[in-house]
Structure 1
Amino acid sequence: MPRWTVDRPQRLTLDEPVTALHVRLVTGRLAVVGTDGPARVDVTRVGSRPVLVEQHDGVLTVRHERRPRWPGLLWWLGRLGRRFRADVSIAVPADVLADLGLVDGSLVASGLSRETRADVTAGQIALMGVRGRTTAKIISGPVEALGVAGDLSLETVSGEVVLADGTVGTVRAHTVSGEITCDLDAQRGGEIRLSTISGRITVRVREDSDLDVRLHTTAGRITSGFPQVRDGSGLGGVRDSAGVLGTGAGRLWASATSGSIALLARPVDDDAEELP
């Protein structure tokens, strides 16, 4: 089983095929890209605690050799965090099963096409051109998904969620405290579910979309660029709006406990102007 202990900047090229990627790092930057050619691991920065790289039965694992025992948050953010700092870039085949974890820092995944799972405690997550089934969770920080296709699930406790330029099947986005902003093309029969406890939801879809729309806010306003989506009655500050766009083959559901919801229409001509 090939195994490397990386304690200084180093680039590794793996000759054996890779079918799955498993990453568990403590703090730093992690970038994973789906590409052609052999798998590569490029460690450009590493603290006093080395990074362990190993491959077994098609599974590529990149992790810190030893995890901290969490002696205290303030100490970890300072001295201990510097010991476990690592900046790592990984290139793998696009169709790998990717399970990516980072305690503190930024995580970027692009060009993956099968199944991707990204988990960060504090920092940020960026997904670009990812397809297939994608799940991203972060406790503190934003999540951004650009050009994503397939089924997508995004969740943050404190942070903003942004989705744009995607053709999605099923989308589930939730934040406890933070805004949700979406500009998407919904597949026929797909489902978009957006929810926030404290924050605003802004969603823009094509004006020729086929969606059954349901919008709800407990304390906020609802505005719609579609005349088919009408404001309904509610008790107190509760607002509900509903309507059917086109055939209503798909579903759009958005809910905000404390915050407003805006549904915007994107002219179809805008898409045509983007074509070469």
Structure 2
Amino acid sequence: MTQSTWTVSEPQKLSFDAPVAEVRVRVVNGTVNVVGTEDDGPARLEVGRIDGPPLIVTHEHGTLTVAYEDMSWKGFLKSFEKNGFSRESWQRSAEVTLTVPAAARVELGAVGAAAVVSGIRGGTEVKGVSGDTALVGLAGAVRADTVSGSVEAQSVTGELRFKSVSGDLTVVDGAGASVRADSVSGDMVLDLDPAAGPADIALTSVSGEVAIRLPHPADARVEAHTASGSVRTAFEDLRVSGQWGAKRITGTLGAGTGTLKASTVSGAIALLRRPAADADPFTDAGGPGTPPALDKKVL
């Protein structure tokens, strides 16, 4: 299959008749939206306002790439953390919208750009620096690595992996079988969907706060600990131990089919309980003693 290449230096719309199985996007500033669709129409690209160097668009062997010529995917975050981008390279911006088959796999690299990926079930990998990212209705494996950008995942059913220096993670209606998250100072808030069944969750942070809202009744073996932060739980079946320094929350909820592990050095940990359908969420969501700051994030 021959390669097709376009240089986009002004607002433009492109349509791709050949199949698209993989999408690779790398942008600086502006916005990027990647939308998965189940229809049989061609993949489409719309570039709105664009400032600075042009975007190079290529389609080859089922892979659609939208990127700057001087930005590679390999070592994307490591290169930034080590050397940063020159002032000249920051003077660029683009508004990019891609509509692609839902079965496609997506690789997205964003520096300072607000990103949204929705409706993709072929797997998604995001590498971000400072822009916030929203992941909506994704299936397949999902991985998000950021420096300081926050990630919000809503109705994500695949395995979710998150790693960040200071970016926050928020999971809304979490339905995935597995969540692994690691952050230095970013906060983590997870609200689990009661219809999703037992989950496998492991969260690690140095100074970030952790709040997890579980369905009621819950079904998990729980082990959460902090070296110097506070702990709160809305579940009477869990045991809180330690008064000075290290504190732990341990125990089994329901049959203990799922697993929940959370660890911080100085951050607070709160295990919240979803209210019943007819309950007042402002009084019943967190349970007694829930830290107000964490409670507000979940609500």
Q: Which residue, 181, 185, 196 being the options, matches 2:205?
A: 196
- In structure 1, the residue corresponding to 2:90 is in which secondary structure? helix
- Structure with bigger strand share is 1
Name the aligned partner's letter for residue 125 of structure 1. T
1:213 equivalent to 2:217? Answer: no
1:122 equivalent to 2:130? Answer: yes
* Residues in 1 aligned to 2:7 and 2:191: alpha-carbon distance in whole angstroms: 43
* Residues in 1 aligned to 2:220 and 2:159: alpha-carbon distance in whole angstroms: 17
Q: Is the contact between residue 203 and residue 262 of structure 1 (CA under 8 Å) also seen in structure 2?
A: yes
Question: What residue ranges of structure 1 are gaps of 5+ in the alignment?
Answer: 272-276
Alpha-carbon offset, residue 140 of structure 1: 1.1
Q: How does 1:83-232 map to 2 (within 5 A)?
A: 84-185=92-193, 187-232=196-241
Name the aligned partner's letter for residue 144 of structure 1. E
Tell me which residue corresponds to 2:14: 12
1:54 equivalent to 2:58? Answer: yes
Alpha-carbon offset, residue 28 of structure 1: 2.6
Q: Is the contact between residue 124 and residue 138 of structure 1 (CA under 8 Å) also seen in structure 2?
A: no
Provide Cα deviations, 1:108-151, integer angstroms capped at 9, x if missing partner: 11111121001012211111111111001110121111121121
* Residues in 1 aligned to 2:59 and 2:239: alpha-carbon distance in whole angstroms: 56
* Residues in 1 aligned to 2:278 and 2:17: alpha-carbon distance in whole angstroms: 45
Alpha-carbon offset, residue 270 of structure 1: 6.0
Provide Cα deviations, 1:38-62, integer angstroms capped at 9, x if missing partner: 1011110222311111111111111
* Residues in 2 aligned to 1:49 and 1:75: alpha-carbon distance in whole angstroms: 14
- In structure 2, the residue corresponding to 1:13 is in which secondary structure? strand
* Residues in 1 aligned to 2:272 and 2:175: alpha-carbon distance in whole angstroms: 17
Name the aligned partner's letter for residue 15 of structure 1. D
Name the aligned partner's letter for residue 59 of structure 1. T
Provide Cα deviations, 1:63-101, integer angstroms capped at 9, x if missing partner: 11234999x86952xx5422x322111110011111111
Residues paired across the two proteins, number = 267
Name the aligned partner's letter for residue 230 of structure 1. R
* Residues in 2 aligned to 1:58 and 1:214: alpha-carbon distance in whole angstroms: 45
* Residues in 2 aligned to 1:125 and 1:213: alpha-carbon distance in whole angstroms: 29
1:23 equivalent to 2:44? Answer: no
- Closer, same or farther: CA 223–45 of 1 in aligned 2, 3 Å: same
- In structure 2, the residue corresponding to 1:237 is in which secondary structure? coil
* Residues in 2 aligned to 1:245 and 1:270: alpha-carbon distance in whole angstroms: 22
Tell me which residue corresponds to 1:63: 67
- Closer, same or farther: CA 201–67 of 1 in aligned 2, 3 Å: closer
- In structure 2, the residue corresponding to 1:195 is in which secondary structure? strand
* Residues in 1 aligned to 2:93 and 2:242: alpha-carbon distance in whole angstroms: 54
Q: CA RMSD in A?
A: 2.3
Name the aligned partner's letter for residue 272 of structure 2. L
Q: Which residue, 35, 42, 45 being the options, matches 1:41?
A: 45
- Closer, same or farther: CA 257–107 of 1 in aligned 2, 3 Å: same
Q: Is the contact between residue 150 and residue 169 of structure 1 (CA under 8 Å) also seen in structure 2?
A: yes
* Residues in 1 aligned to 2:172 and 2:215: alpha-carbon distance in whole angstroms: 12
The answer to which of 262-271 and 236-245 deviates more is 262-271
Q: TM-score scaled by structure 1?
A: 0.90
- Closer, same or farther: CA 165–4 of 1 in aligned 2, 3 Å: same
Name the aligned partner's letter for residue 156 of structure 2. V
Q: Is the contact between residue 206 and residue 268 of structure 1 (CA under 8 Å) also seen in structure 2?
A: no
Question: What residue ranges of structure 2 are gaps of 5+ in the alignment?
Answer: 73-78, 280-299
Q: TM-score scaled by structure 2?
A: 0.83
Provide Cα deviations, 1:141-188, integer angstroms capped at 9, x if missing partner: 211111211210112211211111121100012221121111013744
- In structure 1, the residue corresponding to 2:245 is in which secondary structure? coil
Provide Cα deviations, 1:175-215, integer angstroms capped at 9, x if missing partner: 21121111013744531111211121111010122100111
* Residues in 2 aligned to 1:155 and 1:242: alpha-carbon distance in whole angstroms: 25
* Residues in 2 aligned to 1:160 and 1:20: alpha-carbon distance in whole angstroms: 28
Name the % identity: 38
* Residues in 2 aligned to 1:113 and 1:197: alpha-carbon distance in whole angstroms: 32
The answer to which of 259-268 and 238-247 deviates more is 259-268
Name the aligned partner's letter for residue 101 of structure 2. P
Alpha-carbon offset, residue 264 of structure 1: 0.8
